[in-house]
Chains A and B, each alone.
Chain A
Amino acid sequence: MASIQLQNIEKRYGGFVGVQGMSLDIHDEEFLVLLGPSGCGKTTTMRMIAGLEVPTGGTIIIGDEVVNDVDARDRDVAMVFQGYALYPNMSVYENIRFPLRMRGVPAADHDRLIRQAADMVELGAFLDRKPGALSGGQRQRAALARAVVRQPQVFLMDEPLSNLDAKLRQSMRVQIKHLQRQLRVTTVYVTHDQIEAMTLADRIVIMNKGAIQQVGTPDQIYTDPANTFVAGFIGSPPMNLIDGDAQGGRFTAPGVDAPCPAGLQGKVTLGIRPEDARVGGDHVQGMVYGVEPTGDVTYLTVLAGGKQIEVKAARDFRSDIDVAITIAFDPARLYFFDAQGERIRGDA
């Protein structure tokens, strides 16, 4: 079975800690996304699963085996790289064949498996070409085919879509998800793009500075963030985070006066997503700072007490700048975080 367990994994480079004390259980056949900003340790973690980096502490278990001392080439793991890493001197056919040759798959099976893999990514017509003669999207699919052909226990994908243009990215997302479902292979996917994470993942692991911030389904991450980092990372535009004081059921900050749970006391941070705020009401008194119509929605930025608050307004909302305006928050969708950024749970 291809579950993966990371037990207290650590990766140090001299004095610098890339990944610290990370523990994670990855379920068989799940699509897990490691999400976070650059330098957060997500790629390092994945490379440790691949065997390209050796952990300086902790244990990695793939299936039932401890694999810390198993070389990358001996693990049953396939990887798709950000730059695709296709072998430039070989045709697509030979590229896809390479892992089969390396793993000692009988030569008689090669052709069938290669064509199968190529068909899965719709690259059947391009098998004779060399990577240099392919477009970006085609190269990416070739890299996918090469990973798929071996039917490994685990797929690893390191930001495979980040070199593609936006439109291609979208269609490839769908294809990757479909492929994973078809093949039912445990997949670990690394990205800094939250939309990819939200659309692809069964579960998301958000990382920052080498540590896990939160693990959960996309829904959970979105509606139940564990701290201000997660709250501010997911969502576009990100959740508004306002520092202020809570006292007797009211949250106050310059220009802001909103309800909060009765038991809350002292310095807290209020979080509210732009789509959960609307023009009108009296929670926020401020000035219009910016109006950005995008066709299906208008992004409104309000300046209150020196802070910019984003609101998703109706598509026909228009206003001049520096006009006074008020904002209301949906009280059912307020989040509160303590002074360390940790989420204060309990009834809102």
Chain B
Amino acid sequence: MTTVAPGRSGGVAKATPKLRRRSPRLRKAFPYLLLTPAMLYLLAITLYPGLFAIYQSLFVVKFLSWTWTGTGNYSAILQDREFWAALGNTAIIGAISLSLQTAIALTIAYFAYRDPFIRGWRIVYLMPMLFMPSAVAFIWKLAFNDGRVISDILMTLGVVERNVDWLGNIWLARMTLIVADVWQWTPFLFIIFVAGLQSQDQEIEEAARLDGASWPAIFWNISLPMMRPIIVVAVTLRGIDITTMFTNVYVMTQGTPGGATETMSYFIYRQGFRMFNFGYASAASVLMLILTVVIAQTVVKRAFHSGKS
């Protein structure tokens, strides 16, 4: 250590200035101030539209004329077969698609994790997710309907005899939507599941191996249960997005046949921007909002509190 000894004189000139005391009120308010810009922005796009939608839903809107109808829109909607059909479709298509995605993603993740060879090729498994959703919709529209590729493959395999009219049958049409959604979004779940599996403590797996367990047994009894909170978070996120399915419907089926593939989002779109029943569409929006809030409060809150510390 050098013996340069500046002591207290060779350095910064120092008087003892009066110490600065800051306002404790400012200190307490500070985090709120930080949040204000973001909150204002969010409130502008949630509160304002929400109030507007509620307001507008009390009117029948034809172009520029607003006629008061009170709960007229609501009673009409609740009796509207198409509304309930849209709700049902969203639920059915969503549930099937979500289950399929989850099962496939989990299976692939199970086979893929902790494998350095696969890790290098990981990007291939991600690719479907990287395409614009509208582009994906066109891929499958071409494959199923316009380009008849899928039919051709099925014919070659001997599964069907003639060209399949995918839009002619309720379940076939729904299936095209499901296939498109599963193809595009399984990677989303896959990457999260893999991350979750790989973040688990390797020592536990090694201990189980020393105890003589086979890999499938380790996965089934140890890794999978430990993954539960992660699965819940990922499936919840994806599930919420699935209920908003719009793009595929718009591009591929437009709700045919007979409204069997019309989802809630498409219903609102059609009512508002095809038939210009804005009041009606707003009422539907309000109902969908209520549904969303309920789901958010129950399912999501739990998912995110168990999924993170």
Contacts and interface: CB of A to CB of B under 8 A. Distances in A.
Interface of A: 63-65, 67, 69-71, 74-75, 105, 109, 113, 116, 119-122, 150-151, 175, 178-179, 182-185
Given A70-B21, A74-B22, A116 B12 contact: no
A175 B4 CA distance: 14
Given A70-B19, A75-B19, A183-B7, A120 B12 contact: no
A158 B241 CA distance: 49
Interface in B1-33: 1-8, 11-12, 14, 16, 19-22, 24, 27
Most buried by B among A64, A178, A183: A183
A179 B1 contact: yes
A257 B27 CA distance: 65
Contacts of B4: 116, 119-120
A136 B157 CA distance: 66
A113 B12 contact: yes
A74 B22 CA distance: 9
Contacts of A121: 1
B12 A182 contact: no
Contacts of B19: 65, 67, 70, 74-75
Nearest to B20: A74
Given A116-B6, A121-B1, 6 more contacts: A63-B16, A74-B20, A113-B11, A120-B4, A151-B14, A183-B8
A70 B8 contact: no
Contacts of A71: 20-22, 27
A182 B5 contact: yes
A148 to B, nearest CB: 10
Contacts of B11: 113, 116, 151
Given A67-B19, A71-B22, A175 B1 contact: yes
Contacts of A64: 16
Interface of B: 1-8, 11-12, 14, 16, 19-22, 24, 27
A119 B2 contact: yes
Nearest to A150: B12
Contact of A178 (B1, B6, B14, B21): B1
A290 B17 CA distance: 62
A184 B7 contact: yes
Given A67-B19, A69-B21, A183-B7, A109 B1 contact: no
Nearest to A178: B1
A139 B49 CA distance: 54
Given A63-B16, A120-B1, A151 B8 contact: yes
Contacts of A182: 3, 5, 7
Contacts of A184: 7-8
A70 B21 CA distance: 5
Contact of B2 (A65, A120, A151, A183): A120
B8 A122 contact: no
A202 B2 CA distance: 23
Nearest to B16: A63
Nearest to A113: B11
Nearest to A66: B19
Given A69-B21, A69-B24, A109-B12, A122 B1 contact: yes
Contacts of B21: 69-71, 74
Contacts of A109: 12
Q: Pick the 5 closest A-B CB pairs, nearest first.
A: A151-B11, A74-B20, A70-B19, A182-B5, A71-B22
Contacts of B3: 182
A185 B6 CA distance: 12
B221 to A, nearest CB: 37
A175 B2 CA distance: 11
22 contacts: A63-B16, A67-B19, A69-B21, A70-B19, A70-B21, A71-B27, A74-B19, A113-B12, A116-B4, A116-B11, A120-B1, A120-B2, A120-B4, A121-B1, A151-B8, A151-B12, A175-B1, A179-B1, A182-B5, A182-B7, A183-B6, A184-B8
Contacts of B7: 182-184
A69 B22 CA distance: 8
Nearest to A63: B16
Contacts of B22: 71, 74
A150 to B, nearest CB: 7
A217 B195 CA distance: 55
A150 B11 CA distance: 8
A70 B12 contact: no
Contacts of B16: 63-64
A187 to B, nearest CB: 14
Contacts of A185: 8
Contacts of A120: 1-2, 4
B241 to A, nearest CB: 36
Contacts of A122: 1-2
A37 to B, nearest CB: 28
A117 to B, nearest CB: 9
A183 B6 CA distance: 7
A74 B8 CA distance: 20
A74 B23 CA distance: 13
A113 B4 CA distance: 12
A75 B18 CA distance: 11
A285 B1 CA distance: 52
Nearest to B10: A116
B5 to A, nearest CB: 5
A65 B20 CA distance: 11
A53 to B, nearest CB: 14
A185 B22 CA distance: 27
A74 B2 CA distance: 31
Nearest to B6: A116
B22 to A, nearest CB: 5
